[in-house]
Chain A
Amino acid sequence: MGAVAFDSAASIQGSHLVEFENVEKIYRSKRGDVAALQGITMHIGEAEFLSVLGPSGCGKSTLLRCLAGLEKPSGGDIRVGGKSVSGPPHNLGVVFQRDILMEWRNVIQNVLLPVEARRLRVADWRERALQLLELLGLRGFENRYPYELSGGMRQRVSICRALLLNPNLLLMDEPFGALDAMTRDELNIELQRVWIEDAKTVFFVTHSIPEAVFLGNRVVVMSPSPGRILRTITVDLPRPRDLSVRETPEFGAYVREIRTLFQEMGMLRAR
């Protein structure tokens, strides 16, 4: 069964690739300070898939951006591979909610952008780009332009781009939020497959409870602003998980637990 939840961030086997220590983020403005994040202490292990779940405005995207080196925390420390983050960490893959493809480049040119950014030889990476496109079901679309693709396909391209240089840390900020439910399910399965084949550490932000439980090894549940960690839940379901696992009682137990947590916080009632 294993629907065990515990309050503090318990350690798991393996080394910790990412460590958050008492991270705080305060946005100062003339109208007063807004605390986006408060006392975030947690870790992510090597090759772990961590789901970060919370309602809108809970600071989970802020946390992702701090980890990506795009924003500086107001307090506390974030360490990747033992080193404090002070700018984008080395070997990172990022996927935002919007695909952010360059409309003037075709699919394979978009995927190869990280190679150009690092001033590596494009020819060396072309084969891998094509393999990734194939892995994500986009074979034959290398020379198409983004405007010729559907939303789901465009997001798949941005995932290929994030994976191109084999990052050891993959950050995803509600990557499937703008897609329809069926495409979302499809991409959940594909993402899991990609993660199983090519073990990476994933920091996956979402506001969907089932998605967080389906994809994650652990789920960090955050409170609304100021964002704190309410609970960290270990999802003890076997891999690979297919969509039917969502109908099992074990899955339901996890989802119920999280939903109850949100209700206790008065979040769901407020909608």
Chain B
Amino acid sequence: MIYRSLKVIPVFVGFLLIWEILVRSLNTPSWFLPAPSVIFAELGNHPRLYLAQSFYTLMTTMLGFTAAFVAGVILAIAIVYSRILENTLYTLLVSFNSVPKIALAPLFIIWLGTGLQSKVAVSFLIAFFPIVIDMVLGLRSTDPDALNLFKTMHGSPLQALIKIRLPNALPYMFSGMKVAISLALVGAVAGEFIASQSGLGYVILTAQGMFFTARVFAAILVLGLMGTILFYLVDLAEHLVCPWHVSHREEEAAVAARG
């Protein structure tokens, strides 16, 4: 997995080289398209700025994601076990899912102010849906014969949930989590765009106002790095928790086949 990612680096470096050459030869203005060397210089000159603002965005993302995870899993279990909730709440959630959640961000600003809470709320709201929907799918996809077999063993429904349904739903849960972590970051940045005094989104917005494009790119670079690391952390967690899952086996088989 890590080996495959390392292969991207020479491609990325090549891309940066072409970009650098193009900018220098075409003499594009810096406010329009800065050269990579200028962007990296900007990063190197203000490390503390980017570190501090990244931390703020990261905090928002992690709070929103964690809340989405906890609420999502609990709600998914409740929906699967309650016919009433399934017919009401789940249907609502699925239809509400098609509303662009970012459009609700200004609403949260009105309700919760311009502090951390409103941005966490936006982050939470966007990240919440994939977790619930995938978790419900995972819980529902339990083999009915496995549940029947457990019944013949005289196991209780609670044991069936803990020992059979939940472990079976874990791969689906991680699938939802991978989508959710990326969306939580999007929500955090979107919230910062709308009303904030900190965070990488705020950095981008103020830099844009000054046509300080190098700073915009630098912030985007940091965001991209953050998003990639967060995604791979969830992926790593999945490898640790569900090593038995078929997709991982297929991965190993494919690697083995390639020799």
Contacts and interface: CB of A to CB of B under 8 A. Distances in A.
B155 A88 contact: no
B149 A69 contact: no
Contact of A100 (B143, B170, B246): B143
B152 A100 contact: no
Contacts of B156: 117
Interface residues of B, number: 22
Nearest to A106: B244
Nearest to A115: B153
Nearest to B164: A102
A94 B152 contact: yes
Contacts of A149: none
Interface of B: 143, 145-146, 148-156, 159, 163-164, 167, 170, 242, 244-246, 249
A141 to B, nearest CB: 15
Contacts of A114: 153
| Range of interface residues on A (Cβ < 8 Å) | 20 to 34
Which 3 residue pairs are nearest across A and B when measured between Cβ atoms? A117-B155, A117-B153, A88-B152
Contacts of A146: 244
Given A100-B143, A103-B246, A117-B159, 4 more contacts: A96-B145, A116-B159, A117-B150, A147-B249
A103 B244 CA distance: 6
Interface in A67-114: 68-70, 88, 90, 92, 94, 96, 98, 100, 102-104, 113-114
A94 B246 CA distance: 26
Interface of A: 65, 68-70, 88, 90, 92, 94, 96, 98, 100, 102-104, 113-114, 116-118, 145-147
Contacts of B159: 116-117
A90 B151 CA distance: 11
B152 A70 contact: yes
11 contacts: A69-B152, A70-B151, A94-B149, A96-B149, A98-B145, A100-B143, A104-B170, A116-B155, A116-B163, A117-B154, A118-B155
A118 B154 contact: yes
Nearest to A87: B151
Nearest to B170: A104
A94 B245 CA distance: 26
A258 to B, nearest CB: 29
Given A116-B159, A147-B244, A147-B249, A104 B153 contact: no
A88 B152 CA distance: 5
A118 B159 CA distance: 10
